[in-house]
Amino acid sequence: MNAILLMLLGLGGMFLGYVFYSKFVAEKIYKLDPNFRTPAHEFEDGVDFVPTNKYVLWGHHFTSVAGAAPIIGPAIAVIWGWVPAFLWVIFGTIFFAGVHDAGAIWASNRNRARSIGALTGDVVGKRSQSLFMIVIFLVLLMVNAVFATAISGLLINFPSSVVPVWGAIFVALIIGQFIFRKWLNLGTVSILGVIALYALIVAGPEAPLALPETIMGLSDNATWILILFLYAAIASLLPVWMLLQPRDYINGLQLFIGLILIYGAVLISGPELVAPAFNSDTPEGTPSLIPLLFVTIACGAISGFHGLVASGTTSKQLDKETDARFVGYFGAIGEGSLSLATIIAVTAGFATLADWQAVYHSFGQGGVTAFVSGGARILQEGLGFNVGIAETLLTVMAVLFAGTTMDTGLRLQRYIFQEWGSIYNIQWMEKAAPATLLAVGSCLLLAFGAGGADGSGGLAIWPLFGTTNQLLAGLTLLVITTMLVKLKRPMYVTLLPLIFLLIMTIFALIIQLKGFYEASDWFLFSLDLLVLIAAIWIALEAGSTLNRLRKENANSSH
Amino acid sequence: MRIQAIKGWLAQASQFANEYYNAPYRAAVARAKREQEDLFMLYVYSEMMGIPNPASYYTLELQPLLLEQFHEWHLRMGMEHSPFDEFRCC
């Protein structure tokens, strides 16, 4: 099949989902009201609560939720063939992610823009709220460990990207100073910044850099992971305007440029998909498609992380309640389109089926490296890019995404430690530096604990990360469903995805648990067990809450 | 006419870019700014709390100017009333 057809089918399907399904959900289920006074107006303070133009808000929402995860997930999951990954991304975006994201904004908007975590306490119960905090901590922990492993892999596989990746950080630092001190206006600075970044990317292949294979007994992979965490720890302690803000801005611009380039190149060259539609010949050790597909692709189909962004910041800036449809649902479509681009890159970006099979020789292979090499081939054929430059460009895009998520993740983990410090009255833990050390330490433990001293095992926890992320989404869906039941509105729109998610995650956790047990991997076994307990807990909580409400509703109607 | 249209379009684009740059970090930047200002308040009023201040000759002059912020500051610092005997607030 031709990639253009797949691209049109996917984008067309998601667009129809926006036009019809999201309209139905927004009008009939959430009943978004243009006259509702949103928290952005009610509590307007010029700082947290600011009514914001819906296109600007969409830009933020989309760029904060899009990261490396919607690339890594599909790039691993095509091992079962492109049809399952494609269908889950498209239908997941239409019926799961869009409803979940828009619903999280709506739920928060109707509750004084409070975060989903706080809402869980009010709407569902106190027990669920503590559970929520634990699940968030686990998600952050895993995301940091996985992304550090993924970045170090990229830096080793594509040494041409080392200079532009670290150079981009200096570009961001300089841009930050220019804007903060108002030396130049933003438009000029953005153009100069983008030129500087792409100049570094073009120069990258001229100056490849690689670490020596071992430094003080540590492999190059392990050294990169340590350097990355050192960087992330420093970045998470700097004032946000210095590095985080300008870098997010550049990343956002890069994301749009990258998507346009990839889709443009596909349209021009029209590559054929070389990977099988359904892979009947999966390598030994590949787990069964059901349920693992649904946790391998989390972001891009549905992701709990979106609920945190939607309820934490987006809902505070919503100008009109009806904007929730565009911002939330279309934001999910933006993420889905990034996953679709990834699927095309990793299935059409190889010359022959044998090449593809050589990359996907066992489960967990491929990943972001396959995205970079496949995408680079498509860019070369479609737009005539030099392969080295195209590879550097895509690597920089992926690394910057993952890097941003890492230091934001560390910052959030630090806040959680600080909060625990104040709850349990541990004074030293309330300070920023020791709390950051604890956060970094726990991530390193996971990155190295999962895969031995070379730190290569971080990606082994990818499906486990997926399950935890889906659990978070499940909690958000539970909050929305509970609200819908209380309002006596139809609840199947969120209840069916919730049930599906819980069944698939619990099923996947049990299968993985068995795998870790057989491999005698006690570290991951206990982690899996922890997540499994949380998952069953959420399922019970959901059952009892909904049952209670059903009874209450039945009594009140008599 | 056409140039004006382009100018208008550019102005709108730069306004969008500014919003896009600033909106997500407004809260964090405001918090950081307030922390700096709190420290400055502490310098200005430090002599009253028995902390020697070599620049008190100058900061004394600033006290009336900062009076309006004083109330918010002592509330934020967790003191219900003014901490100084000779300097009442509320």
pLDDT tens digit sequence for A392-447: 999 999 998 888 888 778 888 888 888 788 778 888 988 888 999 999 999 988 88
What's the pLDDT score for residue A127? 83
d(CA A128, CA A110): 20
Question: ipTM of the assembly?
Answer: 0.72
Q: Is residue B85 in some structural domain?
A: no
Angle, in degrees to the nearest 10, between helices A54-65 and A304-312? 140
Please give the residue that has the higher pLDDT: either A129 or A389.
Answer: A389
**Omega prior to A291 cis, within 30 of 0:** yes
pLDDT tens-digit profile of B28-61?
888 888 888 888 888 888 877 788 888 888 888 8
Token pair of A128 as six digits: 């669920």
What's the pLDDT score for residue A452? 67
Listed by start position, the domains of chain A span: 3-556
Task: Using DSSP, state whether A519 is helix, strand or coil.
Answer: coil
Q: Is residue B89 in some structural domain?
A: no
DSSP A63-127: HHH-SSHHHHHHHHHGGG-HHHHHHHHHHIIIIIIHHHHHHHHHHHHTTTT--HHHHIIIII-HH
Over 90: is that where the pLDDT of A165 sits? yes
d(CA A150, CA A144): 10
d(CA A1, CA A274): 8
Stretch A260-270: mean pLDDT = 94
CB contact under 8 A, B21 and A47: no
CB contact under 8 A, A240 and B28: yes
d(CA A363, CA A167): 34
Q: Is residue B87 in some structural domain?
A: no
Stretch A172-193: mean pLDDT = 88
Residues spanned by the domain of B64: 2-76
Q: Is residue B90 in some structural domain?
A: no
Q: Say how many domains are in chain B.
A: 1
Token pair of A70 as six digits: 């919607």
- What does the mean pLDDT of chain A come to? 90
Task: Using DSSP, state whether A175 is helix, strand or coil.
Answer: helix
CB contact under 8 A, B29 and A244: no
Using CB atoms within 10 A of its CB, is residue A371 exposed (0-12), middle (13-18) or buried (19+)?
A: buried
Q: Is residue B17 in some structural domain?
A: yes
Q: Is residue B81 in some structural domain?
A: no
pLDDT tens-digit profile of A65-116?
888 899 999 999 999 999 999 999 999 999 999 999 999 999 999 999 888 8
Which string of b and e fits A451-462 if b means at least 16 CB within 10 Å? beebbbbbbbbb
Q: Does B39 touch chain A (CB under 8 A)?
A: no
Of A211-215, A309-313, A545-549, B13-17, give the range with the top mean pLDDT.
A545-549
Q: Are A419 and A185 in contact (CB under 8 A)?
A: no
pLDDT tens-digit profile of A347-382?
999 999 999 999 898 888 888 999 999 999 999 999
Out of B18, B23, B28, whose CB is closest to A50?
A: B23
pLDDT tens-digit profile of A515-534?
889 988 888 899 899 999 99
* Residue of chain B whose Cα is closest to the Cα of A179: B21
Q: Are A57 and A323 in contact (CB under 8 A)?
A: yes
Task: Give A 245-274 residues with CB within 8 A of chain B.
Answer: 245, 248-249, 252
d(CA A75, CA A370): 7
Please work out, in degrees rounded to the nearest 5, the angle formed at the alpha carbon of residue A500 by the alpha carbons of A499 and A501.
90
Over 80: is that where the pLDDT of B77 sits? no
Which is nearest to A360 in space by CA: A276, A268, A246, A270?
A: A276
d(CA A286, CA A263): 30
Q: Does B26 touch chain A (CB under 8 A)?
A: yes
Report the topology of domain A3-556.
Amino acid/polyamine transporter I (1.20.1740)
* Residue of chain A whose Cα is closest to the Cα of B34: A47
DSSP A349-382: SSSSHHHHHHHSSSTT-SHHHHHHHHHHHHHHHH
Stretch A136-154: mean pLDDT = 89
What's the pLDDT score for residue A11? 96
Which is nearest to A327 in space by CA: A39, A29, A63?
A: A63
Question: A455: pLDDT confidence band, cut at 50, 70 and 90?
Answer: low
**Chain A residues with CB inside 8 Å of B18's CB?**
186
**Chain B residues with CB inside 8 Å of A47's CB?**
26-27, 30
Q: Is residue B83 in some structural domain?
A: no
Q: Is residue B22 in some structural domain?
A: yes
**Chain B residues with CB inside 8 Å of A239's CB?**
32
* Residue of chain B whose Cα is closest to the Cα of A64: B24
What's the pLDDT score for residue A6? 95
pLDDT tens-digit profile of A193-208?
999 999 999 999 998 9
CB contact under 8 A, B21 and A48: no
Task: Using DSSP, state whether A272 is helix, strand or coil.
Answer: strand
CB contact under 8 A, A187 and B30: no
Which is nearest to A509 in space by CA: A493, A538, A523, A529?
A: A529
Task: Using DSSP, state whether A49 is helix, strand or coil.
Answer: coil
Candidates B26, B34, B35, B36, partner chain A, best to mutate (most A CBs within 10 A):
B26
Q: Does A239 touch chain B (CB under 8 A)?
A: yes
Task: Give A 147-186 residues with CB within 8 A of chain B.
Answer: 179, 185-186
Of A77-86, A227-236, A251-260, B45-54, give the range with the top mean pLDDT.
A77-86
CB contact under 8 A, B24 and A52: no
CA atoms within 13 A of residue A167's CA, in its CB half-sphere:
24
Stretch A333-337: mean pLDDT = 94
Over 90: is that where the pLDDT of A464 sits? no
* Separation in Å, CA B14 to CA A180, A183, A257, A275, B24: 16, 16, 18, 44, 17
pLDDT tens-digit profile of A6-65?
999 999 999 999 999 999 999 999 999 999 999 999 988 777 788 988 998 998 888 888
